[in-house]
Amino acid sequence: MAEELRIGVFVCRCGTNIAGFLDTEDVAKYAKTLPNVVFTRENLFSCSEAGVTDIKNAITENKLNRVVVAACTPLTHEPTFRAACEDAGLNPFLFEFVNIREQCSWVHKALREEATQKAKDLIRMGVARAALLEPRESIVTDVIPSALVIGGGIAGLTAALALANRGFEVKLVEREKKLGGMLRDLHQIYPYEIGARGFISSKIKEVEENPKIEVLTGHSLEKLGGFIGNYQATVGSGEGSAKELKVGVIIVATGASLLVPEGSFSYNGEDVINQLQLEERLKNQAFDAQNIVMIKCVGARVKERLYCSRICCMTAIKDGILIKKQNPDANVHILYRDLMCYGVANEELLRQAKELGVRFVNYSLDSPPVVEDGKVKVQSNVLGRELEIESDLVVLITPLVAREGAAELSKLLKVPLDEYKFFLEAHVKLRPNDFATDGIYICGSAHWPVSTGEAIQQALGAASRASIHLTNKKVKVEPIVSVLFDEEACRGCGLCASLCPYAAIEMVETEKGTKAKMIEVACKGCGVCAASCYKQAIKMIHYSDEQLTAQIRAAFQKKEVESGVQA
């Protein structure tokens, strides 16, 4: 006997975000007229504790077996409402989310009547799909309690130590012969007045002495297979030897490189140097220049590189302070287009630099400084005239750029890069340490230029995210996946496997020939394989053709009825 459908619809006012632009009360009344809908409710904030409690109580009291919430984006609140359904004894996959904020009220702010009608249409479609939803159980797989950390700079070292100190095995892979990354070349870390050499040396010692961490310097990732909880990584030294590693999670902490300003402002590495070369001189106490001019944004915020590297300003200010403290009579000029001094501590460093006598000169991209023998000419935007500054040392402040090999690594990991080849996180606010691929995390300047303090914070965040799976020893994945439901129809062409962005399909030999095999725990339910299968041998769980067809028919149902056409 078929189950009697009892659908509950909850319409969220979202304060004035939704109710301010469409009639939510009218929408809720309309929802009650739809087939199989036995309960409707208008909530002020459905995602609030009171709203969630109301949904749970309504499920129990009205014996609801399907729930539709019309509110904002499922990206932020779908887990909340699914959990509410589960708490009330309803399978969480018998829940349907209808977005009437981003897809309705926010895009039709000046059309209240039309927005109200569109919200009704969207809910009608949601109810039609909800009627065909089926209960699903999450996919569970074991997790190998070991982590692979790629990169041995401060971010990688911090992440490795954080995981090892929690008792997990860590494989730390660094392609250079030594650990430490860029901090090995720095003199002092701002804004803490900490010597970089001593700081990174102590971190390296901690890592090398930790029995839970296996350090593989001079190695890089050559091959990667598997999925969250069960990755098989091959690392090699490029000398023919390779090592197989089995890990549950991966953290990418490959860092960034400093742009070498070849061809800019007569750069020669002697009297015109870059910032790392200045740090080296300060570190080795081989600095005796009297007139120092630092030129900022060399190679940054230009056509080739539109971004701001964020940390260059503070590094220049820090070095200016160090020079003035070492030699109060030194003349230090910082030529800048804009100053990036975010945070209280950084603002304090800027104030201190000015008090010590570091001079700041604002210039524009249209009129860049000119470096001549012993002089730098610059048009001051503040004074409105050209300045001629004596210089026996010019320091070019260049941005951090993505590491060489980032593109190759992204292909191995199947994670995205942005236009500048920095690694791209899953969501800038909601999942800043995650990749879209489950079980792989990002931290430090591999993601975007960051200071030492920020790299450490991000590394701890990535380690925290990774340790969730390692601690639980199992990972639960949503059952919204693709399945090969018609093995006879599969031709074994491999098109689906080649297009899958998550490496969730492999081609295997069976008694019936080559067939596609889905790795459910790796699948993200994107639907690329089902859409590309010309034999229609693949279908999507939770997004079946029948469900989508029902939504499409419901979208046009009102117009068909009005025109006399049978829906």
Give me the tens of pLDDT residue by residue for the chain, a chain 567 residues long. 568 999 999 999 999 999 999 999 999 999 999 999 999 999 999 999 999 999 999 999 999 999 999 999 998 899 999 999 999 999 999 999 999 999 999 999 999 999 999 999 999 999 999 999 999 998 899 999 999 999 999 999 999 999 999 999 999 999 999 999 999 999 999 988 899 999 999 999 999 999 999 999 999 999 998 889 999 999 999 887 899 999 999 999 999 999 999 999 999 999 999 999 999 999 888 888 999 999 999 999 999 999 999 999 999 999 999 999 999 999 999 999 999 999 999 999 999 999 999 999 999 999 999 999 899 999 999 999 999 999 999 999 999 999 999 999 999 998 999 999 999 999 888 899 999 888 999 999 999 999 999 999 999 999 999 999 999 999 888 899 999 999 999 999 999 999 998 889 999 999 999 999 999 988 989 999 999 999 999 999 999 989 999 999 999 886 554 444 444
- Report d(CA 67, CA 58) in Å as an integer: 10
Task: Please check whether residue 446 lies inside any domain of the structure.
Answer: yes
Task: Please check whether residue 2 lies inside any domain of the structure.
Answer: no
Q: Amino acid identity of 337?
A: R
Q: What is the pLDDT of residue 327?
A: 94
- Report d(CA 299, CA 315) in Å as an integer: 16
Q: Are residues 416 and 345 in the same domain?
A: no
Q: What is the pLDDT of residue 267?
A: 96
Tokens of 11: 């319409």
The CATH number of the domain where 452 resides is what? 3.50.50.60
Q: Are residues 390 and 405 in the same domain?
A: no
Task: Please check whether residue 277 lies inside any domain of the structure.
Answer: yes
Tokens of 171: 């494989």
Q: Amino acid identity of 188?
A: Q
Task: Please check whether residue 164 lies inside any domain of the structure.
Answer: yes
Tokens of 401: 């750029």
Q: Are residues 154 and 203 in the same domain?
A: yes
> Nearest to residue 249, comparing CAs of 320, 146, 323, 133?
146
Q: Are residues 553 and 504 in the same domain?
A: no
Q: What is the pLDDT of residue 522?
A: 86
Tell me if 431 sits within 8 A of 415, measured CB to CB: no
- Report d(CA 219, CA 158) in Å as an integer: 19
Give every CB contact of residue 237 below 8 A, 6+ residues apart in sequence.
Answer: 218, 219
Give every CB contact of residue 240 below 8 A, 6+ residues apart in sequence.
Answer: none
Provide φ and ψ at 437, rounded to 5°: -80, 120
- Report d(CA 198, CA 54) in Å as an integer: 57
CA-to-CA separations, 493 to 411, 504, 534, in angstroms, rounded: 22, 16, 10
Provide φ and ψ at 476, rounded to 5°: -105, 125
Q: Are residues 278 and 358 in the same domain?
A: yes
Which residue reads 């403290």 in tokens? 325
Specify the number of domains making up the chain.
4
Give every CB contact of residue 397 below 8 A, 6+ residues apart in sequence.
Answer: 274, 275, 294, 295, 296, 297, 298, 312, 313, 315, 316
Which residue reads 């890069």 in tokens? 417
Task: Please check whether residue 1 lies inside any domain of the structure.
Answer: no
End-to-end CA distance of the chain: 26
Task: Please check whether residue 141 lies inside any domain of the structure.
Answer: no
- Report d(CA 203, CA 245) in Å as an integer: 24
Tell me if 260 sits within 8 A of 175, measured CB to CB: no
β-pairing verdict for 291-295 and 194-195: unpaired
Number of neighbours of residue 166 by Cβ within 10 angstroms: 15
Q: Are residues 193 and 226 in the same domain?
A: yes
Q: Are residues 131 and 28 in the same domain?
A: yes
- Report d(CA 316, CA 324) in Å as an integer: 12
- Report d(CA 99, CA 11) in Å as an integer: 10
Q: Residue 23 belongs to what domain range?
A: 7-135+546-566
Q: What is the pLDDT of residue 565?
A: 44
The residue among 362, 383, 398 that closes a domain is: 398
- Report d(CA 401, CA 169) in Å as an integer: 31
Q: Are residues 329 and 427 in the same domain?
A: no
Q: Are residues 267 and 393 in the same domain?
A: yes
What's the half-sphere exposure (Cβ side, CA atoms, 13 Å) at 292? 31
Task: Please check whether residue 222 lies inside any domain of the structure.
Answer: yes
Q: What is the pLDDT of residue 566?
A: 44
Q: Are residues 381 and 414 in the same domain?
A: no
Which residue reads 């009330």 in tokens? 88
Q: Are residues 196 and 289 in the same domain?
A: no
- Report d(CA 437, CA 519) in Å as an integer: 13
The residue among 398, 428, 457 that closes a domain is: 398
Tell me if 240 sits within 8 A of 403, measured CB to CB: no
Q: Are residues 327 and 266 in the same domain?
A: yes
The CATH number of the domain where 65 resides is what? 3.40.50
The CATH number of the domain where 490 resides is what? 3.30.70.20
Which residue reads 């304090």 in tokens? 348
Q: What is the pLDDT of residue 37?
A: 97
Task: Please check whether residue 140 lies inside any domain of the structure.
Answer: no
> Nearest to residue 535, comparing CAs of 503, 488, 501, 482?
488
- Report d(CA 70, CA 19) in Å as an integer: 12
The residue among 430, 452, 475 that closes a domain is: 475
- Report d(CA 253, CA 237) in Å as an integer: 18
CA-to-CA separations, 431 to 376, 415, 438, in angstroms, rounded: 45, 14, 11
